[in-house]
Amino acid sequence: MSEISRTVSTALQSLRQREHASRLAGQIADTASEVTTGLKSRPYEALGHKSADAIAIRMQITRNDGFIESNKLLAQRFAGLESALGGIRDAGQDVLEQLVFSEANGGSPSRNLSQIAQAAIDTITARAAYKDTSGFAMSGTKSDLIPLQPWDEVNPETGLSPKGIIQGTVGPTITSAADAQAKIDELKTMYDSALVANPNRNFEASFYRGAHELDAGGQPNPFVEVQISPTEKISQPAQANNPAMRDLLRGLAMLAEVDVSAIADPDARALWMEEARSAIAGGLSGVTDLETGAGVTRGRLADTLNTQQVRAELLASEQLALEGADQYDAAGRLTQLQTQLESSYAVTARLSRMSFLNYL
């Protein structure tokens, strides 16, 4: 009977050793955390009535760190947007220079002006499609949709392509100044998305696929807006349906789908070229403003981010003052605990090997 009692006692002792080893392992994990981070592993227990201050600081750190991470991504987005707008401006500027050159040579346009304008439209379509992890930057709140429909591809919602719409509007050629003016007026209405008879031919129906300028009730749709600090927001007005983008694309379309050198009537040719030049020049001015605005916003973000990073350092100092642990002391305790754990494992191992036969 006494041998059975000894066996039960040994089993209980083995169980206690395992529990002791488990507690030591937990203490080692806590102490290792203090060695690594320099902060108390259980700050609220250690701080007592000051734990409320520690909680408040941790909440401020979490919020500030969240702004820092999101603002870093936002700064990259605006840098990419600024670059995209610069590429759009350069593409339009090349065509404008060709037009100015033609005007300087007595209004005789280059035969390849249509090809240059078409290439500029393709470049602008590609540059406007700049995207990051948040989606397409120039589509407004509909960031999941590419902003500009590729020129010769059919829009899946209307079954029309931008190229086909323009060709159907301007016809094979311009016959007179009156014909030129009538087609110019229709193109303006189209790019203003104000055609009533066939709204699928409007710019915001078949040319542009992002968030519209106006909602179904005729009220302005909001721009993308982002909170960059507890008291500050920024918006992004640079969308591919911005009036500047519409003017630029309208002027390029007038040159891409009409061979200006083939317009026989000099008055019609001059009127068409002047309107195209005016639309492109006005559009480029507006695109430059959008590009500058993106740069200003990026600079504002950089200042805000710098302030938040300084604040992060101050909050870290406040947290350390409250929750800081002596890392040298923690390292000493860690070594001692590891030694105790090894001894506990050795005792547990010996007890686990014992059986009733050890007492016979």
Task: Average the pLDDT over 187-211 and give the result.
Answer: 96
pLDDT over 50 at 208, yes or no? yes
Distance CA 149, CA 136 (A): 13
Is pLDDT of 14 > 70?
no
Cα within 13 Å of Cα(330), Cβ side: 19
* Residue 261 pLDDT: 87
Q: Taking residues 157-184, report their average pLDDT.
A: 96
Which residue is associated with the tokens 């740069």?
A: 295
Helix (H) or strand (E) holding 295: helix 266-323
pLDDT category at 126 given cuts 50, 70, 90 is very high
pTM over 0.85: no
* The pLDDT of residue 128 is above 60: yes
CA distances from residue 204 to 186, 275, 345 in whole angstroms, order as listed: 15, 22, 74
pLDDT of residue 159: 97
**How confident is the model at residue 359, as a pLDDT?**
43
Q: Poorest-confidence range of 37-51, 138-152, 185-199?
A: 37-51
Q: Evaluate if residue 22 carries a pLDDT over 70.
A: no
Relative orientation angle of helices 243-256 and 113-128, to the nearest 10 degrees: 150
* Domain extents in the chain: 2-41+327-359, 82-314
Phi, psi (rounded to 5 degrees) for 170: -85, -20
100, 110 contact by CB (below 8 A): no
Q: Evaluate if residue 218 carries a pLDDT over 70.
A: yes
Whether the Cβ atoms of residue 265 and residue 331 lie closer than 8 Å to each other: no
**Tell me, what's the pLDDT at 1?**
47
Q: Which residue has the higher pLDDT, 315 or 34?
A: 315
Strands (E), the chain: 131-132, 135-136, 224-229, 232-236
**Cα separation, 54 vs 320, whole angstroms:** 10
The set of residues, in sequence order, having a beta carbon less than 8 Å from that of 129 and lying 6+ positions away, is 136, 138, 146, 147, 148
Eight-class DSSP state of 27? H
The pLDDT of residue 156: 95
In angstroms, the Cα distances linking 357 to 1, 4, 15, 276, 348 are 14, 10, 20, 105, 18
pLDDT at 330 over 80: no
Coil/strand/helix, residue 224: strand
What is the chain's mean pLDDT, rounded? Answer: 85
CA distance 38 to 336: 18
Per-residue b or e along 49-67, where b marks 16 or more CB atoms closer than 10 Å to that residue's CB: eeeeebeebeebbeebeeb
> Range with the lowest mean pLDDT among 103-107, 235-239, 323-327?
323-327
Range in 63-67, 68-72, 105-109, 263-267 with the lowest mean pLDDT: 105-109
How many helices (H) and strands (E) would you count in the chain? 9, 4
Split at pLDDT 50, 70, 90, the class of 80 is very high
Q: What are phi and psi of 98, to 5 degrees?
A: -65, -40
Minimum mean pLDDT range among 4-18, 58-72, 94-108, 295-309: 4-18
Report the range out of 54-58, 90-94, 98-102, 352-356 with the highest average pLDDT.
90-94
Query: Residues 222-255: pLDDT tens digits?
Result: 999 999 999 999 999 999 999 999 999 999 999 9
pLDDT of 288 higher than 80: yes
pLDDT at 47 over 90: no
**pLDDT value at 8 more than 50:** no
Is the pLDDT at 140 greater than 80, yes or no? yes
Q: Give the C-alpha separation, 69 to 342, whole Å.
A: 43
| 339 — pLDDT class (breaks 50, 70, 90) | confident
State the pLDDT confidence band at 319, using cuts at 50, 70 and 90: confident
pLDDT at 40 over 90: no
The reported pLDDT for the residue numbered 160 is 97
- According to CATH, what is the number of the domain 82-314? 1.20.1330.10
